[in-house]
């Protein structure tokens, strides 16, 4: 049983709390037995840790587990996972142009998965998808999607898909949009919407008619659009 | 300018951080100039506080403001608001049976408002709607809705509306549900769904067809349903 914070394995796990190390190591941590199983199923689990003496798990003390994990509640298991990226792009693509809230990012992963948007493009300026809060709120959807990263404009120009922006005020009402099979939907930042640079591409925008409200939560608005284009 | 934490007004504001005092005083706090304006527009603003010397505002020191507010960023204004409940019930009603996450609660308020579900029934066991995180994520929708509180079963029995439960696995697919004008939708807890007690009423359930996913975020799923029944 590992009970020292100086153990090299533990030191690596602690480093992975930082985004830059996750990037350089191409690895990330998941907390809780549900996510560990999902990671194993997805074939990305490199090591599993438990506070119990279990087959196939590296045992650590409760104190060590507590220091690695980010939740207030006691986590019994955690998994060290490798990042996996495929270059293939699904027919339905969700593009995030600066979504910042981890909860929104995780919720959007669940919805993308549920409605067949199996590729997610994470534009520069969006929250790190391997952040612990994102992973938690993705509820395992993070293992079922293919993620691409980079500049949204460049990616949009490279796509053969029908690409729509989104806007809270104007555009084609969602119910009236032709539901193409090969479609990409762009969602913008919580406060500012889609960036100027992307708006300058002159794409058609989708909007959701509403009353008495300035805007919906971005995970909600995005998911309503994915629902209409899914499954 | 008030700079002492012992000032009676400040003491009252501090007490209102606790749910039980909000309930006994029938008052709550909103943070930030946007929400203060919305509260004023809604006619529920009793007192406004600012760190600046402004007409119609009680000035407080930055230190005092910081201690009252819950956000990390500096808030310049806050408002003391009174709770307002009307007994009238709108044609479209959203019923929450144990929604616990403040972000979900706030997002659902925005969606309810956007799609014309102007009455929200907050069942016992749901998060306090006057919690600061709920108010923040409601983005002002909290001032545009009518809230009722109590036991979900009793309320459902008293309604003349067509009432639907929701379930992640079975029921009538959302697109096939007859969109009644007088409708009430029940959403359950994030982890456990609708309570046993409410399920025992034998209501018809709506579900959202999805693939490869166990469930959607409750604010997302609920909002998709409200969208289909709205505006």
Place of tokens 């969700």: A94
Q: Where are the alpha helices (DSSP H) in B45-118?
A: 62-68, 102-114
Res A175 pLDDT > 90? yes
Q: Does B173 touch chain A (CB under 8 A)?
A: no
Q: Tens digit of pLDDT for each residue in A97-128?
A: 999 999 999 999 999 999 999 999 999 999 99
Q: CA-CA distances (angstroms) from residue B35 to A42, B45, B56, B75, B80?
A: 44, 10, 16, 11, 11
In this prediction, residues B5-14 reach a mean pLDDT of 96
Of the listed ranges A114-123, B175-184, B210-219, the one predicted with least confidence: B210-219
Scanning chain A, the segments in alpha helix (DSSP H) are 8-15, 19-25, 33-41, 62-68, 102-114, 132-138, 152-158, 196-199, 218-229
Q: What angle do CA B137, B142, B146 make, to 5 degrees?
A: 150
* Average pLDDT score over chain A: 95
Across the interface, do B211 and A141 touch by the CB < 8 Å criterion?
no
Angle at CA B117, nearest 5°, toward B115 and B118? 120
Question: How many residues are there in chain B?
Answer: 231
For residue A102, the chain B residues in CB contact (below 8 A) are none
A2: number of CA atoms within 13 Å, CB side?
20
Determine the residue of chain A that is closest to B110 in CA distance. Answer: A216
User: To 5 degrees, how large is the angle CA A119–CA A124–CA A126?
Assistant: 75
* Residue B163 confidence (pLDDT): 98
Q: Name the residue with tokens 């760190």.
A: B51
Q: What is the pLDDT of residues B146-166, one digit of tens each?
A: 999 999 999 999 999 999 999
B7: number of Cβ within 10 Å: 14
A219: nearest CA in chain B? Answer: B220
| Domains of chain B, residue spans | 8-82, 92-229
- Selected for mutation to probe chain A from B110, B115, B134, B227 (highest A CB count within 10 Å) is B227
Which token pair is A88?
Answer: 């293939």
User: Quick one: fold of A92-229?
Assistant: Alpha/beta knot (3.40.1280)
Provide the angle, in degrees to the nearest 10, between the axes of the packed helices A102-114 and A218-229. 10
Residues 52-111 of B with CB under 8 A from A: 103, 106-107, 110-111
Q: Tokens representing A38? A: 């999902």
| pLDDT level of residue B84 (50, 70, 90 thresholds) | confident
Residue B222 near residue B120, CB atoms below 8 Å: no
Query: What is the CATH code of the structural domain delimited by A8-82?
Result: 3.30.1330.30
Mean pLDDT in residue range B5-32: 96
Q: Which of A104, A217, A225 is nearest to B114 (CA)?
A: A217
- Give the helix/strand (H/E) hosting A48: strand A45-50
Count of CB contacts below 8 A, A vs B?
A: 90
Model confidence at B73, pLDDT cuts 50, 70, 90, reads: confident
ipTM of the complex: 0.93
> What percent of chain B has pLDDT above 70?
100
Q: Does A133 touch chain B (CB under 8 A)?
A: no
Q: How open is the CA angle B199-B203-B205, to the nearest 5 degrees? A: 90
> HSE-up of B99 (CA within 13 Å, CB side)?
25
Q: Mutation test of the interface with chain A: which of B99, B102, B105, B107, choosing the one with the most A Cβ atoms within 10 A?
A: B107
Residues contacting A55, CB < 8 A, separation 6+: none
How far apart CA A204 and CA A201 sit, in angstroms, is 9
3-class SS at B112? Answer: helix
pLDDT band at A70 (very low <50, low <70, confident <90, very high): confident
pLDDT at residue number A163: 98
Secondary structure element (H or E) that encloses residue B29, with its range: strand B27-31
Count of residues in chain A: 231
Rounded Cα–Cα distance for residues B15 and B18 (Å): 6
Tokens at residue A96, please? Answer: 């995030």
Full-prediction pTM beyond 0.90?
A: yes
Burial zone of A172 (CB within 10 Å; 0-12 exposed, 13-18 middle, 19+ buried): middle
**Through-space distance between the first and last CA atoms of chain B, rounded to whole angstroms:** 46
CA B215 → CA A204, B21, B111, B210, distances in Å? 31, 36, 19, 8
Pick from B47, B66, B44: which is nearest to B57 by CA? B47
Does A48 touch chain B if contact means CB atoms closer than 8 Å? no
Please compute the mean of the pLDDT values over residues B186-204 and round it to a whole number: 96
pLDDT in tens, A20-52: 999 999 999 999 999 999 999 999 999 999 999
A58-59/A45-50 β-pairing: parallel
Closest CA–CA distance from residue A187 to any residue of chain B (Å):
15
């Amino acid at each position: 049983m590992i009970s020292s914070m100086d153990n090299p394995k533990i030191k690596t796990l602690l480093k992975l709390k930082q985004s830059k190390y996750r990037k350089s190591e191409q690895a990330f941590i998941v907390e809780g037995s549900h996510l560990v199983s999902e990671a194993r199923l997805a074939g990305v689990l490199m090591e599993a840790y438990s506070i119990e003496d279990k087959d196939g798990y590296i045992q650590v003390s409760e104190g060590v587990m507590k220091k690695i994990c980010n939740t207030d509640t006691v986590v019994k298991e955690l998994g060290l996972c490798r990042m996996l990226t495929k270059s293939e792009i699904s027919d339905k693509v969700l593009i995030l142009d600066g979504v910042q809230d981890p909860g929104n990012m995780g919720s959007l992963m669940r919805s993308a998965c549920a409605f067949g948007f199996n590729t997610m493009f994470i534009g520069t300026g969006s929250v790190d998808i391997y952040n612990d809060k994102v992973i938690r709120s993705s509820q395992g959807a993070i293992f079922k999607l293919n993620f691409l990263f980079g500049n949204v404009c460049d990616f949009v120009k490279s796509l053969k898909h029908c690409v729509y922006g989104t806007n809270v005020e104007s555009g084609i009402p969602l119910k009236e949009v032709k539901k193409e099979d090969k479609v990409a939907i762009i969602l913008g930042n919580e406060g500012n919407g889609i960036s100027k640079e992307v708006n300058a591409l002159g794409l058609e925008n989708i909007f959701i008619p509403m009353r008495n409200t300035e805007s919906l939560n971005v995970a909600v608005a995005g998911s309503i659009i994915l629902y209409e284009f899914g499954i």
